[in-house]
Chains A and B, each alone.
Chain A
Amino acid sequence: MARPPKQGFGRRSLASLLLVAASCLSIYFVPPASGQGLVTDISKDIVDLRYDFAGADLLLFGALSDVGGLSDQIDIVVSISGPTEDMRVRKKEKISGLWINNRAAIIRAAPGYYALSSTRPLDEISSSENLSRLALGADHLPLDIDLAPSAERTAFREGFIRNMVRAGLYRLDEDRVSLIGQTLFRTAVRLPSNVPEGLFDARVVVFADGVVIAEDVIDIAVGKTGFERAVYQVARNDPAIYGLSAVLIALLAGWAAGFLSRR
């Protein structure tokens, strides 16, 4: 899927930033059970889309200190969401015997990547309202679909998520967060080869008995580098030059191929 160039720091990103800020505030209004002793890191925070890129397996890990009482049930949820993009979802319908795209909806600023992992199934960790407020889990993904709330809207939403899961771009509860001795945790982060370029937010939320006690966000930058970046940028920014070069290269390559095959 060809992606449009990333837009600048527009109104939408400002709005989402405010949203993030607001949700952070709401989290800190919940009195932390104890200090916010959460440290997180990732094995690689800059991922290069080089010629040999075939997806990346990262390791997100961290440590908790002084969180919760000994008897508390500690849970960790890690959600990673990629750069957003407007997506069109189409539905095929049978029209005079042929399956044809007939209905469509647009999802504004849908995350191009979303991965969720947790120590236990989400519904066992916290209440649905809590998770919804934290925007955690596939059911609570903030997908802005231009349809009125209806069964159709739900079907388009599920269709979108299903497609993203199939493309390997949405990973819902496929990876576990393993918690070792109430202090150390780690989880695998898998980026497929068709991962979009941009900034990824990895969010770590720590629950004690279903209540958020700590939260941390770290960034992962994914981008093309070197030759791949140059090719992509010329194609985007100077399409006429790119097109002419593509033709010229093809003419030369075809001539060279003829020359070689005669020998």
Chain B
Amino acid sequence: MPLYLPIAEMSLNIFLVIGLGAAVGFLSGMFGVGGGFLMTPLLIFSGVPPAVSVATGANLITASSVTGAITHWRRGGVDLKLGSVLIAGGAVGSLLGTWLFAYLSRIGQVELMISLSYVLFLGSIGGLMLWESVAALLRSRKGTARRPGKRGGRAWHHRLPFKMRFRKSRLYISVLLPLVIGALVGLLAAILGVGGGFIMVPAMIYILGMPTNVVVGTSLYQIIFVTAIITFLHAVQTQTVDVILSLLLLVGAVFGAQLGARIGMKLKGEQLRALLALIVLGVGVRMGWGLVVPPDDLYSIMAVMP
């Protein structure tokens, strides 16, 4: 059954769209990730213009993060204060990011930048995750328990000024740190059409030293606002947010996430992480492949924005 999308100006099969949402929702439910890094490339592969894919992806992530954040909020897993500092940084980053996105699409390099960033970030994070989870799997086979890692530590950033206390996260750190991290993730989110959880979560654990029970909830809380800002900015600057597409994807994602969460509970943590690492790496490699393999057609076309 075809469905005409008024902003993308094309029609897609409605079951394909819902199926796409369900598949990404399934993975995000299973692994507890936002799935934006999968959704945006999949939309591009289905023929949706890259600009529409990125902007609509942001809109979808707002919705799915609300669902996730509410669950974590009930468990007391959201540090509102730290989250709000991250959002303040994220607002600046996303403003820069949408501006950069508009500029790059004018000079025709937006796809290059999307591909390069995916290769760089997904490649390195996927590689690290795979390394870590395979090591953990090997250790569990040998039966040696994992040493509890040291959290926080006395790192360089403890000398930064403007310290602030974050009670919920039991942290006393410079406010500059979450501001900068928020800005960087906001920048990436705006450019790549992702929530940025895959960068934010490791940054919270390894740089800020947050306790793991508030990491995911706080990350989701800040993603809601940062992607909302990004959606708004893309809507104003490039008019590329397709609400109908994002709503349909969400319908699929809700059901997919339920199923994914149920199956995810049956798998071990290390297995899940190794699987996710492989998917992340796969997307990164696929993006990199497109850069080095001679394209089918050297020429491409785009409407000139007035």
Q: Please indicate the chain B residues that have their CB under 8 angstroms from the CB of A121 in the complex.
A: none
**C-alpha spacing A46/B299, complex, angstroms:** 33
Q: Is A166 within 8 A of B297, CB to CB? A: yes
**Is B184's CB within 8 Å of the partner chain A?**
no
**Is A150's CB within 8 Å of the partner chain B?**
no
B10-28: CB near A (< 8 Å → 1, else 0) gives 1100000000000000000
- In the assembled complex, the CB of A55 is this many whole angstroms from the nearest CB of chain B, namely 7
- In the assembled complex, the CB of B31 is this many whole angstroms from the nearest CB of chain A, namely 17
SS of B interface (majority):
helix
Which residues of B from 156 to 184 have beta carbons under 8 Å from A?
Answer: none
Q: Is A1 within 8 A of B302, CB to CB? A: yes
Name which residue of chain B comes closest to A251, CB basis: B66
Name, among A52, A94, A258, the residue most crowded by chain B CB atoms within 10 Å (CB to CB): A258
**Is B274's CB within 8 Å of the partner chain A?**
no
Q: Is A54 within 8 A of B2, CB to CB? A: yes
Known contacts: A1-B9, A2-B9, A92-B295. The answer to whether A258 contacts B70 by CB under 8 A is: yes
Name, among B68, B109, B232, the residue most crowded by chain A CB atoms within 10 Å (CB to CB): B232
B138-146, B192-200, B235-243: which lies at the interface: B235-243
- In the assembled complex, the CB of A64 is this many whole angstroms from the nearest CB of chain B, namely 37
Q: Is A231 within 8 A of B231, CB to CB? A: no
Q: Is B63 within 8 A of A254, CB to CB? A: yes
**C-alpha spacing A229/B258, complex, angstroms:** 35
Total A-B residue contacts, Cβ distance less than 8 Å? 204
Q: Please indicate the chain B residues that have their CB under 8 angstroms from the CB of A229 in the complex.
A: 6
**C-alpha spacing A93/B302, complex, angstroms:** 17
Q: Is A193 within 8 A of B2, CB to CB? A: yes
**Is B246's CB within 8 Å of the partner chain A?**
yes
Q: Please indicate the chain B residues that have their CB under 8 angstroms from the CB of A228 in the complex.
A: 4, 6
Name which residue of chain A comes closest to B304, CB basis: A86
Q: Please indicate the chain A residues that have their CB under 8 angstroms from the CB of B155 in the complex.
A: none
Q: Is A253 within 8 A of B301, CB to CB? A: no
Name which residue of chain B comes closest to A237, CB basis: B239
Which residues of chain A have a CB within 8 Å of any CB of chain B?
Answer: 1-4, 7, 49-55, 85-94, 97-101, 104, 106, 155-156, 159-160, 162-164, 166, 193-194, 196, 224, 228-229, 231-232, 235-236, 239-240, 242-247, 249-251, 253-255, 257-258, 260-261
Q: What 6 pairs across the A-B complex have the smallest Cβ distances?
A: A159-B299, A254-B66, A243-B235, A54-B2, A254-B63, A193-B11
A-B contact pairs, 9 of them (CB 8 A): A54-B4, A86-B304, A92-B295, A193-B10, A194-B11, A239-B236, A239-B239, A250-B62, A251-B224
